[in-house]
Structure 1
Amino acid sequence: MDNQTQVSEFILLGLSGQPLQRQVLFSLSFSLYLIGCLGNLLTILAIISDPHLHSPMYFFLSNLSLLDICFTSTTIPRMLVNHLCGLTTISFAACLAQMYFSITFGAADSILLSAMAYDRYLAICCPLHYTTIMSILRCVLLVGIPWISANLLSMIHTILMSRLSFCTNRIPHFFCELNILIKLSCSDTQVNEMLVLVLGGPVVLISLGCIMASYTPIAVAVWKVPSARGKWKAFSTCGSHLCVVCLFYGTIIGVYINPSSTHTPQKDMVATVMYTMVTPMLNPFIYSLRNRDLKGALRKLLLSRYHCSQPL
């Protein structure tokens, strides 16, 4: 207890300590971040610019793209700047802020995916009442709940983290991740560790339960469709969402829900890279490649920008 101190700054050790590996990982991280932000931004612009896409499904998709941009922008730019400038330090306040926003956007992403599954359930199983049920007010509510609940969850973790003392300020990661900071503390972290499961577990498990509850009747309804073409059309509206769900929840469960005894720094790092870089980058491509309307809107958006840039 005598060795506990309240550190004023942390040192982020990054993805690797080898210079050559750091250069390769920097190039890869920059490429993933640039592609992900560009893809998600184009998705948002395409949905806004095309009146045919002003429907609940695309409203949720545009919010998911916004969350992905915010989520990656919380961690990746700081890592890239630190690498370029040779500075690996981050102040205690900035570290807590980074942790706060990463939890907020990650948790909101998780809850929003369950809202999107509910939207697909109504569209396929209750098509006659879909427009009535999915009113503007309900859509705003289904988007607002993830933001509000995620901020409350993140606030609790951040307040508890600010009360801890740390024996070391060296973080073996590329950003201030909740579990890593808990492991670095010399204080009693039983409450923090318990709340990771008590608060984080329901966010993931309830969201997954809602998704399964939504897709079970969807699978039954699709199975009853007589024609193979009809089945494929119904499945194609949900296949993209299912791919995103598997990518996102698979990595989140691997990092936060598994027992701490099964964790290793290498596994945690790979899983974190997956849900902070790879999944947000893949989301717009998964949705656009499997959605004819969105591909058409993206094509029109890019062509209009191209014609506007041509000299008269």
Structure 2
Amino acid sequence: MNKGNESSDLDFILLGLFPGFIFTVIFTIFVVALTAHLVMIFLIQADPQLHTPMYFLLSQLSIMDTLFICTTVPKLLVDMVSTERTISFVACGIQIFLYLTMIGSEFFLLGLIAYDCYVVVCNPLRYLVMMNHKVCLLLAAGAWFGGSLDGFLLSPITMNVLYCGSHSINHFCEIPAVLKLACADTSLYETLMYICCMFMLLIPISIISASYSLILLTVHHMRSAEGHKKAFTTCSSHLTVVSIFYGAAFYTYLLPQSFHMPEQDKVVSAFYTIVTPMLNPLIYSLRNKDVTGASRRIFMYCSSSQKVGMGSS
């Protein structure tokens, strides 16, 4: 195949992630996740009491998760009910770029959320100084920059590899699935990707581990049994989501290909592209008393505004 003439005209064949009868389940999860994130973004913007550093970071998480699931899941759902399951070379490259950017940004942001929790619990008196508005903007910008850097670095290299033979991808466009179709030797590129992923995983994992260790140590010295229980419950739920997300990324990008099997790849891909974005708002946000209180205030405000409008008419 002539790479210069044919690669850009190449269509990849998507074999699909699951049988058709799972369509309803995936569609339901997608709608629930999308609705939860949009509700969170709206509440955080609309309620002044949620204009805090923690909820600013959580709003960024909701934006990332919304873009993340919209990058792959809609195309997946269309392919599950379509007879023509193809994606163009250019569209595949765009999907890889957005996918890498969102997943990389979320890697860093989850680390920053853990750091925010550490400051709240361990340095409450200095919280507003350590997490002021300028610091929050810089942290969020750093997370987005780190993710986009990953996308800009790896996407062009992936799409400039020589592809030939079968163009069938086992699920959606992500680097390991696409590289399996390469004709040329990709060992150097895979080493680069391995180093890049190690860097992007180790930094946030180190921050998360250190933050939650210090939180648990601080809580251990508290006398309140209720405080112990609440902190351990919160930390365990957070760490569960983080473990799923980072564990799936570790399996996909760092585990040697000899350990990969197609069916396992499908399940792992489903976890961090469909399940984790749904769990994030449920674990981090929607169960909080602040969020339920904001929902109640917004509802009461809308109800009273409607009554005033009806009375004046």
TM-score of the superposition, structure 2-length normalised?
Answer: 0.90
Question: Counterparts of 2:113 and 2:40 in 1: how far apart (Å)?
Answer: 16
CA shift digits 1:220-256 (9 cap, x unpaired)? 1000001202223444554443232122112222222
Query: What pairs up with 1:162-181 in 2 under 5 angstroms?
Result: 162-181=159-178
Displacement after TM superposition at 1:104 (Å): 0.5
Question: Counterparts of 2:171 and 2:303 in 1: how far apart (Å)?
Answer: 38
* Alignment-derived partner of residue 270 in structure 2: 273
1:40 lines up with 2:42 in the alignment? no
Question: Counterparts of 1:148 and 1:281 in 2: how far apart (Å)?
Answer: 24
CA shift digits 1:66-124 (9 cap, x unpaired)? 10000000011122233444331111011000000001000101110001111111111
CA shift digits 1:139-180 (9 cap, x unpaired)? 011101111111111111111112211113533333111101
Question: Counterparts of 1:206 and 1:53 in 2: how far apart (Å)?
Answer: 28
Query: What pairs up with 1:109-188 in 2 under 5 angstroms?
Result: 109-188=106-185
SS of residue paired to 1:90: strand
Displacement after TM superposition at 1:185 (Å): 0.6
CA shift digits 1:265-286 (9 cap, x unpaired)? 1111100000000110121112
Displacement after TM superposition at 1:300 (Å): 3.5
Question: Counterparts of 1:251 and 1:3 in 2: how far apart (Å)?
Answer: 32
SS of residue paired to 2:87: strand
* Alignment-derived partner of residue 17 in structure 2: 15
* Alignment-derived partner of residue 189 in structure 1: 186
* Alignment-derived partner of residue 230 in structure 1: 227
How many residues matched?
307
SS of residue paired to 1:148: helix
Identity over the aligned pairs, expressed in percent? 38
Q: Which structure 2 residue ranges, 5 or more long, are not aligned?
A: none
Displacement after TM superposition at 1:187 (Å): 1.2
* Alignment-derived partner of residue 78 in structure 2: 81
Question: Counterparts of 2:306 and 2:283 in 1: how far apart (Å)?
Answer: 28
8 Å CA contact 1:15–1:25 kept in 2: the answer is no
Larger displacement relative to structure 2 (219-228 or 76-85): 76-85
* Alignment-derived partner of residue 68 in structure 2: 71
CA shift digits 1:193-239 (9 cap, x unpaired)? 11221001111122111111111111110000012022234445544
Q: CA RMSD in A?
A: 2.3
Residue type at the aligned position of 1:231: H
Q: Which structure 1 residue ranges, 5 or more long, are not aligned?
A: none
Of 73, 87, 93, 1:96 maps to 93
Larger displacement relative to structure 2 (300-309 or 50-59): 300-309
SS of residue paired to 2:163: coil
Stretches (4+) displaced over 6 A? 1-4, 306-311
Of 236, 239, 242, 1:242 maps to 239
TM-score of the superposition, structure 1-length normalised?
Answer: 0.91
